[in-house]
């Protein structure tokens, strides 16, 4: 989103024009930003066989999936439903990685039948997989490197108490299971967390993976997960992708030389690819003055964007309607019957009822975590592509809320306790 001549635009399209066309609340994504992030990541790694696996849990709209696919990006899925959406979007089966956690084995069997790459993070499941498939179906193994990294504790997944991955302290057990069941292990995988600033964390984890790789002679890839930090506010510290690419490329080439052949290096960016492309546009319903704050109440809430409430996440907020006005301090709050505050004590251009606010960095884990809490409708989604805004998801209606519900009382008579007593007499 750019401010040009006192007007905010996305690819030259005035944001106010998008609101007039699609109403609020609405999620708007900038395709150019997604494409730019793909290019930056790819250009930062040199001399290695890099594969980018988009973590689709961050934003799973079919149009977004098709966009990244056309730019050579593969798919990282964590549920069979995501796998099926990936197939629907046209991803070839060999370009889809399935990394489930705590799912039934039937879900794994369905993924095998679809022909996608299976990634296993549990020794018991690995044994079961070997019993059923032997060496006929290749798989990868997710390793927990016991490296604590990331922002909020809820997005740190590489520590010793995490439910994710097989502990590095259990690798001798893994090796025995692989040998006894003749399992064809073609990849090793790890993911330590999200919002990782220091490239050295990735290099530490890579060294753990490289050491584990010595026991698996048939590897085709090493998957380093993701967790790249993006900017949520002005001058925010971010992961230095070019620096990481330079250091990781050198380390990986040295590993491949020692391993005896070239492997593929995989990363699984989700937030990095789509977060900064997204904007949640909302309308100010009310201004409320209290002894403690001035509340700007908008036509959205934690049902549309739960990250500030779940992770204490910061999202920059802009007054699109009045960008050049003097700054005032507001608490921007939602319309849900919970404490759903998007931002406390924010200096924002003076707000009036009816103004449009943009909640920034709303591309990742935003719509994908939305709900119908308070029986509110989920918003529309719009993608700005080649200078034109396109509706990529319709706004929900009442029919969407009641679809799937079964009204038994359209056929079954309700009798109150008083009526029952009277009839018995």
**Confidence category of residue 157, pLDDT binned at 50, 70, 90:** very low
- Please give the Cα distance from 327 to 344 (Å, whole number): 14
Domain membership of residue 417 (yes or no) is no
Q: Are residues 230 and 291 in the same domain?
A: no
Q: pTM of the prediction?
A: 0.92
Residues of the chain with pLDDT > 90, as a percent, come to 83
Given the residues 139, 212, 256, 337, select the one marked as catalytic. 337
Q: In the prediction, which pLDDT does 412 show?
A: 86
Task: Please report the pLDDT score of residue 422 as a whole number.
Answer: 53
163 and 100 in a single domain? The answer is yes
| Residue 295 and residue 336 in one domain | yes
How large is the C-alpha radius of gyration of the chain?
25
pLDDT value of residue 146:
83
pLDDT at position 234, please? 82
φ and ψ at residue 163, rounded to 5 degrees: -80, -10
Report yes or no on 222 lying in a domain.
yes
Domain boundary among 214, 240, 274: 274
Instruction: Indicate whether 233 and 315 sit together in one domain.
Output: no
Same domain, 160 and 270: yes
Residue 365 annotated as binding site: yes
Residue where a domain stops, chosen among 224, 242, 274: 274
Confidence of residue 201 (pLDDT cuts 50, 70, 90): confident
Q: What's the CATH code of the domain at 396?
A: 2.40.37.10
263 and 115 in a single domain? The answer is yes
State yes or no: 338 annotated in a binding site: yes
Question: Crossing angle, helix 80-88 and helix 105-114, to 10 degrees?
Answer: 20
Q: How much is the pLDDT for 148?
A: 60
| pLDDT score for 83 | 98
Whether 113 is covered by a domain: the verdict is yes
Residues 270 and 300 in one domain: no
Same domain, 256 and 381: no
Looking at residue 410, its pLDDT comes to: 85
413 confidence band (pLDDT: 50, 70, 90): confident
Contact 317, 360 (CB under 8 A): yes
End residue of a domain, out of 274, 299, 317 = 274
- CATH number reported for the structural domain that contains residue 228 in this entry: 3.20.20.10
- Domain presence at residue 263: yes
Q: Is residue 139 annotated as a catalytic residue, yes or no?
A: no
Q: What pLDDT, in 10s, does the model give residues 340-352?
A: 999 999 999 999 9
Residue 167 lies in a domain: yes
- Residue 133: pLDDT band by 50, 70, 90 thresholds? very high
HEC string for the chain: CEEECCEEEECCEEHHHHHHHHCCCEEEEEHHHHHHHHHHHHHCCCCCEEEEEEEHHHCCCHHHHHHHHHCCCEEEECCHHHHHHHHHCCCCHHHEEECCCCCCHHHHHHHHHHCCEEEECCHHHHHHHHHHHCCCCCEEEEEECCCCCCCCHHHECCCCCCCCCEEHHHHHHHHHHHHHHCCCEEEEECCCECCECCHHHHHHHHHHHHHHHCCCCCCCEEECCCCECCCCCCCCCCCCHHHHHHHHHHHHHHHHHHHCCCCEEEECCCHHHHHHHEEEEEEEEEEEECCCCEEEEECCCCCCCCHHHHHCCCCCEEECCCCCCCEEEEEEECCCCCCCEEEEEEEEECCCCCCEEEECCCCCCCHHHCCCHHHCCCCEEEEEECCEEEEEECCCCHHHHHCCCCCHHHCCCCCCHHHHHHHHC
Q: Can you tell me which residue has the tokens 């990394």?
A: 99
**Mean pLDDT (whole number) for 31-51:** 96
The confidence score (pLDDT) of residue 268 equals 95
pLDDT exceeds cutoff 70 at 318: yes
395 shares a domain with 297: yes
Q: Kindly state the average pLDDT of the residues 382-386.
A: 98
Task: Provide the mean pLDDT of the chain.
Answer: 92
The average pLDDT across 327-346 equals 97
| Residue 415 within any structural domain of the chain | no
314 marked ligand binding residue: no
Cα distance from N-terminal residue to C-terminal residue, the chain: 73
44 with 158, same domain?
yes
Q: If pLDDT is split at 50, 70 and 90, which confidence band does 153 have?
A: very low
142 marked among binding-site residues: no
Q: 360-393 burial string, b = 16+ CB within 10 Å, else e?
A: bbbbbbbbebbeeeeebbbbbbbbbbeeebeebb
Q: Tell me, yes or no, whether 255 and 114 share the same domain.
A: yes
Domain range spanning residue 293? Answer: 2-12+19-24+276-402
**Same structural domain, 205 and 215:** yes
Question: How do residues 113-123 score in pLDDT, each as one tens digit?
Answer: 999 999 999 99
Q: 412 in a domain, yes or no?
A: no
Count of domains observed in the chain = 2
Residue appearing with tokens 């003055």: 289
Q: Is residue 422 part of a domain?
A: no
């Amino acid at each position: 989103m750019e401010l040009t001549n006192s007007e905010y635009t996305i690819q030259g399209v005035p944001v106010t024009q998008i609101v007039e066309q699609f109403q609020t609340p609405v999620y708007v994504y900038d395709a150019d930003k997604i494409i730019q992030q793909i290019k930056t990541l790819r250009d930062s790694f040199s001399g290695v066989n890099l594969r980018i696996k988009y973590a689709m849990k961050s934003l799973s709209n079919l149009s977004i999936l098709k966009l990244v696919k056309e730019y050579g990006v593969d798919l990282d899925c964590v549920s069979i439903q995501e796998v099926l959406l990936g197939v629907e979007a046209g991803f070839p089966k060999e370009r889809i990685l399935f990394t489930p956690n705590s799912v039934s084995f039937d879900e794994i069997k369905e993924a095998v039948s679809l022909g996608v790459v299976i990634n296993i993070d549990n020794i018991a499941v690995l044994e079961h997989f070997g019993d059923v498939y032997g060496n006929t179906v290749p798989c990868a193994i997710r390793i927990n490197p016991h490296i604590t990294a990331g922002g909020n504790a809820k997005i740190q997944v590489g520590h010793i108490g995490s439910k994710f991955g097989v502990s590095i302290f259990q690798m001798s057990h893994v090796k025995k299971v692989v040998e006894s069941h003749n399992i064809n292990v073609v990849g090793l995988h790890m993911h330590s967390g999200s919002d990782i600033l220091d490239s050295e964390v990735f290099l530490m984890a890579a060294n753990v993976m490289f050491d584990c790789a010595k026991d698996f002679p048939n590897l085709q890839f090493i998957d380093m997960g993701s967790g790249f930090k993006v900017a949520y506010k002005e001058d925010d510290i971010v992961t230095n992708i070019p620096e990481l690419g330079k250091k990781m490329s050198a380390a990986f080439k040295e590993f491949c030389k020692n391993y005896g052949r070239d492997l593929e290096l995989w990363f699984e960016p989700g937030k990095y690819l789509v977060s900064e492309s997204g904007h949640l546009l909302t309308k100010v319903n009310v201004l409320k003055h209290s002894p403690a704050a001035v509340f700007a109440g908008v036509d959205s809430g934690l049902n549309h964007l739960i990250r500030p409430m779940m992770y204490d996440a910061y999202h920059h907020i802009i007054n699109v309607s009045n960008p050049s006005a003097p700054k005032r301090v507001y608490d921007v709050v939602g319309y849900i019957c919970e404490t759903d505050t998007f931002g406390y004590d924010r200096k924002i251009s003076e707000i009036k009822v009816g103004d449009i606010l943009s909640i920034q960095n709303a591309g990742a884990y935003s719509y994908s975590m939305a709900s119908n809490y308070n029986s509110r409708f989920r918003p529309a989604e719009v993608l700005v592509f080649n200078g034109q805004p396109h509706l990529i998801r319709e706004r929900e209606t009442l029919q969407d809320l009641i679809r799937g519900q079964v009204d038994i009382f359209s056929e079954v008579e309700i009798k109150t306790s008083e009526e029952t007593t009277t009839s018995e007499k």
